[in-house]
Structure 1
């Protein structure tokens, strides 16, 4: 368009020039005359016109070249912008992936700690009581981190997730630390009544009772509380201990419904040695539970355990084994103000899987060492003012075992605690507690002990 306008302007200029020359000729002559242009003038005008046309063509070529350059420049700028935007886009995708991972991953923890003073006394037979360390008790004052659980929970989609929970403990009185993997499982939740976990996960009974009891940070439940002493000699502890595992390696199926008239269940097929001992055996153990809640605040549950506890692995000596078993029952109530409950269990051959009691040599006969235990626990708590509550608990355990000479011996264990708890924060609880534990051993190997402990227990969760 611009070149056409320039051409018109040149042509107009040439016309004006010719008109001026003609006018001048007329002005000089008094008589009209025919205007003639000789050949030289015409040739000169044609040369000028050709020169102007060449200039116009050159200008047009330059304009077209400039337009092409602008197009190439714009293309180059666009390529640079695209190249610059790609790393930003890739970074954005990476940030989105990281944000999704963070949103789908929950990290938390729970710590049980205490600062207490303990007094442990023992006596042998009819002798005098004396202060001595033993049977899981250490005299004096100390700070302990009984448990520190670090939990990582990741959700892959609406069905699949994974959990990793580490278990750390420190006891200052004996300068002992330990670190274990308590839970490590992959979970598929296909329905509220059907969830499957593969790996180390909560067992059906102990964690379930802990939820209704509510004061796990003060004391383990009765099947999980270590019952020390009674077997062996007055100075050497043999046998006895806890009567269950809170977590074990295996396959776990569970489910529940909510509200009134709800049910819950869990069935676990496990190794039998607990989460601290990932071992192999010739068979597997099974533990199950089923519960019913007529109303949301109440539960009635029964459960059981059967297996070799991971001890059926000695194929070299062909030591005969028995099957350990445990039956459980619980009834509990919990609302915003009150909590009350009772638990009972019966166990057979829990310590005497190996029939001769040692795991070596020939068995001593069908009436070799065996054991049976009956225990019950009752607890109650009352939130009497805002963040304050009072609580108490009483356990009684009756343990009997038969010697290789078919003599039955009996050990009785009595435990109770009482205290006041204070919810400092939503995730921080403190309790001032007094505990008493008393064990009376058999007549044949008579030793008895009493343990009194007072102090502060606490739980921090995040």
Structure 2
């Protein structure tokens, strides 16, 4: 704008000078050059200059007004263009939502499908297997099942169905094929109706997990290698038929489980004159686990028309462990009375303990080991004893698969002992050595 005014001013001055020069030239040619005074001529020129300045200022004001009007028009045009772009973007966004809106409205208008039974049903499975070589001896002589073979120790298939937030049901089959007996066996391990009243009160009716053995298995962590100490030596089992209650309190730090059961195990749901009881209380403090449990009853042997049952089988259990992502270490103990003498006149006692541990070098690779010592008949056969250990290296390629190289050895002195690996021992002693690949997979 200043540049335009300067140009206009210069042009006006140029016009003025040219006019003055013309006037002087005309004055020279007029007939009366000497009669017009100099002051009069200067005053006339000054008036003309002022007139020209006024004209220049008026013209400058008009140009300034034109520039302001053009700037206002431009601003309005820019504002209108921005509004148009925003409206265009909003329209494009609304167009993109049309398919989803139409889909939602169509779905709302259509009748809703009825809930399917399968929507609330889950199928799970787990298999324990091994490819190994066994060398078993009794009094120094090799006996069956010595040799190499493939075993399926356990194959569980479970079906869980949820009726509502309170009631659900489960049925789990148990199949095994082991070289000890050379035949395939199939059982119903669990079949129960559950009512979950709260985290502190879960009731199950039917065949379900017992309070102690499954709990100890979870703490031990290597059930696919071997049963825990009481289960391995047949001083306990993992499931039975009856009424079961369990729960957690104090934000999960305190847990409990109790069961009123037949007493003969899940493989034999027979009737008896009385029921047995098993219970457990556990306390979890940080990574530390402490638990105590007990059992009392006739083990399902007190039946109508059966033999006399002068004794009651009892068992006390205890466990302490530290379980971390990197390592776990623990000890389990049991003491039993008349467990194998419910129907005999003689009384007997037994006890045993197990020390176990593992260390994870990486999330996939860990080393583990365990040692059990059991005295199965402290009163009647005080010299009989069982020493067992295992050690191995485990690889977990995924969360659902474990593969382990394992060595196991069991030695029974001065008697025969029924174990999860068969009957081991002899009049002097017997040994059981097994080495091979053990594994599990689950879904």
Is the shorter-chain TM-score for this pair beyond 0.5, marking a shared fold?
A: yes
Shift of 1:399: 2.1
Q: Name the structure 2 match of 1:167.
A: 174
Aligned partner (choices 328, 336, 346) of residue 317 of structure 2: 328
Confirm or deny: 8 A CA contact 1:122 1:449 kept in the other structure: yes
Aligned partner (choices 300, 316, 331) of residue 310 of structure 1: 300
Shift of 1:386: 3.1
Q: Separation in 2 of the partners of 1:144 and 1:330?
A: 30
Aligned partner (choices 334, 338, 341) of residue 345 of structure 1: 334
Pick closer, same or farther for the CA change 1:174–1:279 going to 2, 3 Å: closer
Q: Name the structure 2 match of 1:96.
A: 114
Confirm or deny: 8 A CA contact 2:349 2:379 kept in the other structure: no
Shift of 1:411: 1.2
Question: Tell me, which stretches of 5 or more residues in structure 2 are unaligned?
Answer: 1-109, 417-425
1:395-417 CA distances to partner (integer Å, 9 max, x unpaired)? 000122656xxxx5431000000
Q: Name the structure 1 match of 2:439.
A: 458
Q: Name the structure 2 match of 1:60.
A: none
Q: Name the structure 1 match of 2:143.
A: 132
Shift of 1:173: 5.9
Shift of 1:316: 5.6
Aligned partner (choices 214, 226, 239) of residue 247 of structure 1: 239
Confirm or deny: 8 A CA contact 1:106 1:152 kept in the other structure: yes
SS at 2:383 equivalent: strand
Q: Separation in 2 of the partners of 1:271 and 1:422?
A: 39
Confirm or deny: 8 A CA contact 1:312 1:321 kept in the other structure: no
Q: Name the structure 1 match of 2:162.
A: 155
Question: Tell me, which stretches of 5 or more residues in structure 1 are unaligned?
Answer: 1-88, 124-128, 228-241, 356-367
1:388 maps onto 2:365 in alignment: yes
SS at 1:385 equivalent: coil
Aligned partner (choices 403, 406, 413) of residue 440 of structure 1: 413
Q: Separation in 2 of the partners of 1:272 and 1:300?
A: 26
Q: Name the structure 1 match of 2:399.
A: 426
1:70-117 CA distances to partner (integer Å, 9 max, x unpaired)? xxxxxxxxxxxxxxxxxxx8xx76x5332xx22211101000000000
- Give matches, 1:165-204, under 5 Å: 165-172=172-179, 174-204=181-211
> How large is the RMSD of aligned CA atoms in angstroms?
2.0
Q: Separation in 1 of the partners of 2:415 and 2:153?
A: 31
SS at 1:352 equivalent: coil
Q: Separation in 1 of the partners of 2:392 and 2:249?
A: 34
Q: Separation in 1 of the partners of 2:180 and 2:334?
A: 32
Pick closer, same or farther for the CA change 1:290–1:173 going to 2, 3 Å: closer
TM-score (norm 2): 0.71
- Give matches, 1:215-254, under 5 Å: 215-225=222-232, 227=233, 242-254=234-246
1:354 maps onto 2:343 in alignment: yes
1:268 maps onto 2:259 in alignment: yes
TM-score (norm 1): 0.68
1:399 maps onto 2:365 in alignment: no
1:119 maps onto 2:135 in alignment: yes
How many pairs were matched up? Answer: 326
- Moved segments of 4+, more than 6 Å: none
Q: Separation in 1 of the partners of 2:313 and 2:298?
A: 6
Aligned partner (choices 263, 274, 285) of residue 294 of structure 1: 285
1:416-438 CA distances to partner (integer Å, 9 max, x unpaired)? 00000000222011000000000
Pick closer, same or farther for the CA change 1:458–1:316 going to 2, 3 Å: closer
Q: Separation in 2 of the partners of 1:351 and 1:413?
A: 16
1:33-88 CA distances to partner (integer Å, 9 max, x unpaired)? xxxxxxxxxxxxxxxxxxxxxxxxxxxxxxxxxxxxxxxxxxxxxxxxxxxxxxxx
Aligned partner (choices 390, 399, 406) of residue 417 of structure 1: 390
Confirm or deny: 8 A CA contact 1:198 1:250 kept in the other structure: yes
SS at 2:333 equivalent: strand
Shift of 1:130: 1.3
Q: Separation in 2 of the partners of 1:373 and 1:312?
A: 22
Confirm or deny: 8 A CA contact 1:111 1:461 kept in the other structure: yes
SS at 2:114 equivalent: helix
Shift of 1:259: 5.4
1:323-380 CA distances to partner (integer Å, 9 max, x unpaired)? 000000001111111111110000000011012xxxxxxxxxxxx3322111000100
